[in-house]
Amino acid sequence: MRIATWNVERLKHRKYLDKILSAIEDAKADILVLTESDERINPKYRYGFHTPRLHDAPFDYHMPGRYKDYTVSDFYNPTENRVSIYTNYPCVKEYETYDKYTSLCVELETQAGNLLVYGTIIGILGNRDDSFKQDLLLQAKDYERLSKVGNICICGDFNCSFIDNYYFTNFGRYTLSTSFAHNNISLLTGNQPECIDHIAASKKFVGDSKVNVFEWNLDKSLSDHKGVVAEICF
C-alpha cells in the first residue's frame, strides 16, 4: 500500500498544472492527501473527499485564521480548498473534525483492513504564528478520539521537521511525538531530512511490515514542498 501527501502551495504554480498532475500520477498512491489543494487538480481516482472551498467560508471564520493574503485576487481563487483525499478504496464513513475547513477524516475499506485517513494542515499560517499551538492541541484531541475508533493514518502538512533544523518548533515536535506515542501511532516519515509533510499510521495497522519512503519535487519547482510516499509492504 502506498500512501502519499503533498502540499501543492495553493496551486501557485498553476501554469505547470500538467506537470503537477503527472507528478501525482507517478507517485502511484493508493491513498493520496493533497494540502493547500484546488478543484482544478483532479487526479484519476474513483473517490475524492474535500474540505469545503474557502470561498464558501463565512467571513468571520477565524480559527485557525484566514490566510493573510486571502483577498489578494492574483493569488486567492474561489476553487481552492485546504485538504483533499483521493483513493480507489470505498469509504465506509466520514468523521467530524474540529475544523472542517482544515482537516477531514474518512474511514476507508482497504485490503489490510479499515483505515481512518485524517488529512490535515497543522497551522495554516506556519509554526511561528500563535494559531499553530492552538490548532495542534485541538487536532491532537481529534487524533486521540479517532484512534479509539480504529486504525488511523494522519497525513498532511505538519509544519514540522523531526530530525534536523529545517523548520520546526520544540512545542510542535514534543506535542506531536507525545500524541503519537500515547495513541500508538508511528511517524513513518520522521527520518526524512528537510521534510515537514508527513505520514503517520497506527502501529497495529503497520505491524512488522517494511516501510519504504520516497520523495518527489525535490527541486521544489512545482510547489514549495516536497511530496512524500510511504509504501507499506504487507
pLDDT digits (tens, 9 = 90+) for 174-214: 999 999 999 999 999 999 999 999 999 999 999 999 999 99
Q: Does 76 score more than 70 pLDDT? A: no
pLDDT digits (tens, 9 = 90+) for 143-176: 999 999 999 999 999 999 999 999 999 999 999 9
Q: What is the pLDDT of residue 62?
A: 61
- If DSSP codes are grouped into helix, strand and coil, which group holds residue 180? helix
Does the pTM exceed 0.85? Answer: yes
Segments forming the whole domain that contains residue 44 = 2-233
Quick one: what percent of the chain has pLDDT higher than 70? 94
pLDDT digits (tens, 9 = 90+) for 116-127: 999 999 998 899
Strands (E), the chain: 2-7, 31-38, 47-50, 80-87, 91-95, 103-110, 113-121, 152-157, 185-187, 197-202, 210-216, 227-233
CA angle 175, 191, 177 (to 5 degrees): 15
Helices 170-182 and 131-147: angle between axes, nearest 10 degrees: 10
Could you tell me the CATH number of the domain that includes residue 12?
A: 3.60.10.10
User: How many domains are contained in the chain?
Assistant: 1
Question: Mean per-residue pLDDT for 57-84?
Answer: 65
Please answer whether residues 202 and 144 qualify as being in contact, where contact means their C-beta atoms are separated by less than 8 angstroms.
Answer: no
The grid coordinates of residue 50 equal: 474535500
**Phi and psi angles of residue 214, each rounded to the nearest 5 degrees, phi first:** -130, 155
